[in-house]
Amino acid sequence: MQSNKREKKEQILGYFFIVPAIIYMLTFIGYPIAYNWIISFQDVTAKTLGSAARDFIGLENYKMIFIDLTFRKALLHTFVYTIGCLVIQFSLGFLFAIFFAKKFALSKPIRGFIVISWMLPVTVTALVFKFMFAESNGIINTILMNLHIIRQPIGWLLQGNTAMLGLIIANSWVGIPFNMLLLTTGLNNIPEDIYEAASIDGASKIQKFLKITIPLLKPTIMSVLVLGFVLTFKVFDLVYVMTGGGPVDATEVLSTYSYKLSFQLFHFGEGAAVANVLFVCLFLVALVYLKTISKDEVI
């Protein structure tokens, strides 16, 4: 009886600490997401914005966006961008992690320092890359021309394909150190004596990498890739500032297109529908992520 009462008191105290934050998140993220689904079935324009009674129009908004060519392009671009970023930031991040895992005087300070790019406002990152990729007097064109790799200055952000490449490079500047950091944590968790035992058995460096590092790092690799997917797929600031979705709509992604529909064209219903497509994609991948991490550890 006594212990039961005490347990109950513990429960109440626990809720007292936890519940305010939960209510906050449900109010400002959970409720808006649910509300977003309702908006996406309504006819919401600048005119009907203030009125309480908005017409339900069923799947009309979804029909509109799926026959919309720009939406289809945005969906494709989001995947191209995400996969491009993942390939670059994972492979280079992995190389960096292995390099900085070597023991030398400056390894730790420099490894720690390059992570700074993750802390900077994406707005500024986008602006400086836009500046560096500029056609006339951009530093990237100047360097490439001095190295005789290109003859004429390239308008990087003025053509569809190169603009997408520019975005991927700018995002990787933030993504590489982040991937490196998470992979380093994973590498440090591999016990040193496994490598020593393998050395005694005469294993080569490549053998050790393929037979020890990769298998033991697999859970980390999985979560880095899936988390990277979620974080990259939701890109907004970078694209919005660097290319604004242009030239024409060559770099339009789901988030920028949703923003454009809602806040520039005032088709709030369609904007909400595009955001919901983004939500479904993210949610599916997030489920995979939660499954992978809950296998390794108790959440």
Partner 1 sequence: MKKLHLTYRHKNILLSAAAVIIACIFLFPLYWIAVNSFKLDSEIFASTPTLWPEEFTLKAYKDQLGSLSVTMKNSVIIAVGSMLLSLCLSVPAAYGLARYKVKGMKLFVLIFLITQMLPASLVLTPLFLIFSKLGILNSYLAPSLSTATISIPFIVLMLRPGFLSIPKELEDAAKIDGCNALTAFFRVAIPISKPTVITAACFSFVFAWNDLAYSMTFNTKEIMRPMTSAIYTFMNQYGTKWNSIMAYGVLLILPSCIIFVTMQKHIVEGMTSGSVKG
Task: Pick the closer one to partner 1 by CB: 210 or 290.
Answer: 290
- C-beta of 60: minimal distance to partner 1 in Å? 16
Q: Which residue has the tokens 């998140």?
A: 25
Burial class (CB within 10 angstroms; exposed 0-12, middle 13-18, buried 19+) of 180: buried
Residue 212 DSSP label: I
Task: Pick the closer one to partner 1 by CB: 40 or 211.
Answer: 40
Burial class (CB within 10 angstroms; exposed 0-12, middle 13-18, buried 19+) of 203: middle
Task: Pick the closer one to partner 1 by CB: 164 or 181.
Answer: 181
Nearest alpha-carbon partner for 126 in 71, 166, 72, 69? 166
- C-beta of 151: minimal distance to partner 1 in Å? 15
- C-beta of 155: minimal distance to partner 1 in Å? 14
Report how far residue 164's alpha carbon sits from residue 172's, in angstroms, rounded to the nearest whole number.
12
Measured in Å, how far apart are the chain's first and last C-alpha atoms? 31
Task: Pick the closer one to partner 1 by CB: 94 or 289.
Answer: 289
Report how far residue 157's alpha carbon sits from residue 131's, in angstroms, rounded to the nearest whole number.
10
Nearest alpha-carbon partner for 166 in 246, 254, 227, 228? 246
- C-beta of 77: minimal distance to partner 1 in Å? 14
Report how far residue 234's alpha carbon sits from residue 124's, in angstroms, rounded to the nearest whole number.
18
- C-beta of 212: minimal distance to partner 1 in Å? 22
Task: Pick the closer one to partner 1 by CB: 49 or 197.
Answer: 49
Interior CA angle at 79 toward 135 and 140, to 5°? 20
Report how far residue 153's alpha carbon sits from residue 135's, in angstroms, rounded to the nearest whole number.
6
Task: Pick the closer one to partner 1 by CB: 76 or 139.
Answer: 139
- C-beta of 127: minimal distance to partner 1 in Å? 6
Nearest alpha-carbon partner for 86 in 212, 226, 183? 226
Task: Pick the closer one to partner 1 by CB: 38 or 87.
Answer: 38
- C-beta of 76: minimal distance to partner 1 in Å? 18
